[in-house]
Chains A and B, each alone.
Chain A
Amino acid sequence: MATPWSLSGALKGMFSRKTIDDETWDDLEDALITADFGSDITDSIVAELRENVRKYSTTDPEDLRRMLRETLEERLARLDPTLTLSARPAVVLVVGVNGVGKTTTIGKFAKFLTTRGRTVIVGAADTFRAAAVEQLATWAERGGASIQKPQQQGQDPASVAFQTIERAQREGVDIVLIDTAGRLQTKSGLMDELAKVKRVVEKQTEIAEVLLVLDATTGQNGLAQAEAFIEHAGVTGLVLTKLDGSAKGGFVLSVQEKTGIPIKLVGQGEGINDLTGFTPHVFVQNLIGR
């Protein structure tokens, strides 16, 4: 049985020593790499902490742990994680590569919103993947949302999005969540299709949020995903899913820093309530432990 990975576990050696020495720095580097922070961010964090340790001339590993926590928290908290959903209807487009958790996130998000008294409609603009519409319909039901389905097989996703928003405007629904098919960021045809969905929607109304869903198990490819989806779909926020597993999703720090797009939601399970806002403090707490 795998135990949930944590930096604190990985850093055990580092904190078991009495003073900060060369091995401490090696351990720290290893721990950050193992959390998928990537070599660039890892180098920059280690350099920053080395500088701090020198500045405050400390040799106590406990100080280093506190500095690490502060650095990570401070860096993750630089961007504003607030969702902008004040427009009526507020239109949210959910995008990402295959299998990351888009459809599930929509179900959980719908529940999150209906619990807070908002009315929600979901648009089944994934007209490609087998049983995607049925899957979304189940989630809509659980989340207390209505659903706009395609009227025919393989209908143009942009037109499903259009019809969903039209219905929301007609029926006075507060929030529109549009599910899109998973697509790898390297497929230019599919990325163009997504850009078209966005264009069509923008002609109708302003888009409140474009949420890019990223899977916490992802490694360094996460950054390439973010860059491509920002370019083609104008991403405004990130959703990090599957944080209930043993992966900690350290790559999101480099995504945040290199793209300036904040993490806004966090998914940690397959249940309808397993979605929360993003709190750097909690995220780092889970990462470092104690």
Chain B
Amino acid sequence: MATFGNLTDRLVDTFKNLRGKGKLSAADVDGTVREIRRALLDADVALEVVKDFTARVRERAMGDEVSKALNPAQQVVQIVNDELVTILGGEARRIQFAKNPPTVIMLAGLQGAGKTTLAGKLAKWLAAQNHTPLLVAADLQRPNAVTQLKVVGEQAGVAVFAPEPGNVGAEDAAPKSFFGGGGGNPVKVAKDGIKFARDKQYDIVIVDTAGRLGVDAELMKQASDIRKAIDPDEVLFVIDAMIGQDAVATAKAFQEGVDFTGVVLTKLDGDARGGAALSVASVTGRPIIFASTGEGLDDFEPFYPDRMASRILDLGDILTLIEQA
């Protein structure tokens, strides 16, 4: 997106003017911080996070490390990058496995975020490492979610535990009536899935759940009930990289509702800057573990904070540009 190329251009321009000055004035720093603020907002980083972030950058930029630097401008960019990477989690974290199998992984998130697809991706990836994953179909709400998980399981070559058909009928899809009613009880399915895995010696259980909104108290309680019933080793909060300012409210609601242990950012194969990564990591303090990068089951990878940092600000080659400036 052109606007972001502009940030690099604008920063390089700002810094060009600073050349030969040696020291940055408060006004210089303010100008730069304003550019950074705008770029972060255009990248959909949540406003409260942007404010904290720019305050910290400003403070460091006014300090000794910059005034004493050989190239102050370059030092400021370095600070921005460092701060971003720090918030995004520094080192990538791995999945935590249970001491006594099965390891239980629960997926949760908004509607359409990419949970069911991720269930297939994780299963296939784990199976390739000689694990024996079992997928559990505990989304009984979205029409034909169970069928979808079965297809995904087949594509991944893993088993699927799906005792209930879920919501497939012609009756109105009033999600709440499926809480223990019509399409089956997701809490029971999840619980039975763990027992089934234990009996049949699957060493990993991945529980797919229905999409739900942060404002939906009833469905959030259902997710929390599922969590209590299965005591997962990991609860992964799946979030779409295209999400805007709402990332903070939604992440907080899921943290309070189900208390996730890690985050998966999806649809990173598009051109969204993915500011949500910064918002969620900063507001919840939970690490981002995976990046989902396509519709195919092989399209995902561990999350790399440094790559994400340069994606958000498009700072990829700005360091070299400044060096040349």
Instruction: Decide yes or no: A98 and B112 within 8 Å by CB, A5-B246, A186-B271, A246-B250 being known contacts.
Output: yes
B53 to chain A, nearest CB (A): 14
Q: Do residues B151 and A184 form an inter-chain contact, with CB atoms below 8 A?
A: no
Q: Does B155 contact A (CB under 8 A)?
A: yes
B114 within 8 A of A: yes
With contacts A5-B249, A224-B1 taken as known, whether A219 is within 8 angstroms of B38 at the C-beta atoms is no
A109 near B: Cβ within 8 Å?
A: no
Q: Are A270 and B170 in contact (CB under 8 A)?
A: no
Report A-chain residues with C-beta under 8 Å of the C-beta of B244: 36, 217-220, 222, 247, 251
Q: Given known contacts A2-B215, A33-B47, A142-B171, is B267 in contact with A247 (CB within 8 Å)?
A: no
Residues of A close to B147: CB separation below 8 A: 130-131, 134-135
Residues in B170-199 with C-beta less than 8 Å from chain A: 170-175
Residues of A within 8 Å of B, CB-based: how many? 50
A39 to B113 Cα, complex, angstroms:
25
CA–CA, A242 and B243, complex, Å: 12
Q: Give which listed residue, A134, A217, A222, contacts B240 with CB less than 8 A.
A: A217
Residues of B contacting A33 with CB < 8 Å?
41, 47, 245
Q: A98 to chain B: which residues have CB within 8 Å?
A: 112, 114, 267, 295
Complex interface bits, B252-290 against A, C-beta within 8 A gives 1, otherwise 0: 110011000000000101111101100000000000000
In the complex, A221 has a CB within 8 A of chain B: yes
Once bound together, how far apart are the Cα atoms of A36 and B257, in whole Å?
24
The answer to whether A61 has its CB under 8 Å from any CB of chain B is no
Q: Indicate if the CB atoms of B47 and A34 lie closer than 8 Å.
A: yes
Which residue, of A101, A219, A242, has the highest number of chain B Cβ atoms within 10 A?
Answer: A219
The CA-CA distance from A127 to B246 in the complex, in Å, is 32
Contact partners of A101 in chain B: CB under 8 A = 111-112
A2 touches B240 (CB 8 A): no
Report chain A residues within 8 Å CB of B155: 130
**A100 touches B (CB below 8 Å):** yes
Per a CB cutoff under 8 Å, which of B41, B44, B170, B256 touches A1?
A: B256
Whether the pair A138, B110 counts as a contact (CB closer than 8 A) is: no
Is B102 in the interface zone, CB < 8 Å from A? Answer: no
A150 to chain B, nearest CB (A): 14
A99 near B113 with CB under 8 A, answer yes
* A244 CA / B218 CA spacing, docked (Å): 14
Which of chain B's residues have a CB closer than 8 A to the CB of A222? 242, 244
Contact A245 B270 (CB under 8 A): no
Residues of B within 8 A of A251 (CB): 244
Cβ contact within 8 Å between A219 and B173: no
Contact A270 B47 (CB under 8 A): no
A126-151 residues with Cβ-Cβ distance < 8 A to B are 128-131, 134-135, 138-139, 141-142
Chain A hits for B85, CB < 8 A: none
A134 to B145, CA, bound (A): 10
Write the nearest CB–CB distance from A254 to chain B, whole angstroms.
Answer: 11
A61 to B276, CA, bound (A): 33
A34-45 CB mask vs B (1 if < 8 Å, else 0) is 111011000000
Expressed in whole angstroms, the minimum distance between the Cβ of B310 and any Cβ of chain A is 18
B30 to chain A minimum Cβ distance, whole angstroms, is 15
Q: CA A131 – CA B155 in complex, angstroms?
A: 12
Cβ-defined contact, B270 with A221, below 8 A: yes
B33 an interface residue at 8 Å Cβ cutoff? no
A211–B111 CA distance with the chains assembled, in angstroms: 20
CB pair B173 A1 closer than 8 Å = no
Q: Is A4 an interface residue (CB 8 A)?
A: yes
What is the minimal beta-carbon distance from A242 to any residue of chain B, in angstroms? 7
Residues from chain A with a CB closer than 8 A to the CB of B213 are: 242, 244-246
With A134-B144, A142-B170, A184-B270 known as contacts, the answer to whether A1 contacts B246 (CB < 8 A) is no
Q: Are B275 and A245 in contact (CB under 8 A)?
A: no
Q: A30-B47, A130-B152, A245-B110 are in contact. Are A217 and B275 (CB under 8 A)?
A: no
Q: Are A131 and B47 in contact (CB under 8 A)?
A: no
In contact, A219 and B143 (Cβ under 8 angstroms)? no
A185 and B270 in contact (CB under 8 A), knowing A138-B143, A217-B110? Answer: yes
B17 CB within 8 Å of chain A: no
Q: Which residues from B are CB-within-8-Å of A35?
A: 245
Q: Do the beta carbons of A246 and B246 come within 8 Å of each other?
A: yes
B246 and A138 form a contact (CB under 8 A): no
Inter-subunit contact A131/B148 (CB<8 Å): yes
Q: Which of B44, B47, B214 is A221 in contact with, Cβ under 8 Å?
A: B44
State whether the Cβ of A271 lies closer than 8 Å to any Cβ in chain B: yes
Question: Across the interface, do B44 and A219 meet the contact criterion of CB distance under 8 Å?
Answer: yes
Query: Is A179 an interface residue when CB atoms closer than 8 A count as contact?
Result: no
Q: Which residues of B contact A (CB under 8 A)?
A: 1, 38, 41-44, 46-47, 110-114, 116, 141-145, 147-148, 150-152, 155, 167-175, 213-215, 217, 220, 240, 242-246, 249-250, 252-253, 256-257, 267, 269-273, 275-276, 295
Known: A98-B267, A131-B148, A247-B243. 17 other contacts (CB 8 A): A33-B245, A36-B244, A39-B41, A99-B111, A99-B113, A101-B112, A131-B151, A142-B171, A217-B110, A217-B243, A242-B110, A242-B213, A246-B213, A247-B244, A271-B172, A271-B175, A273-B172
Minimum-distance CB pairs A-B, first 3: A219-B244, A99-B112, A219-B44
A-B contact pairs, 14 of them (CB 8 A): A36-B44, A38-B42, A130-B116, A134-B168, A139-B143, A184-B267, A186-B270, A217-B250, A220-B273, A221-B271, A221-B272, A245-B215, A246-B214, A270-B111
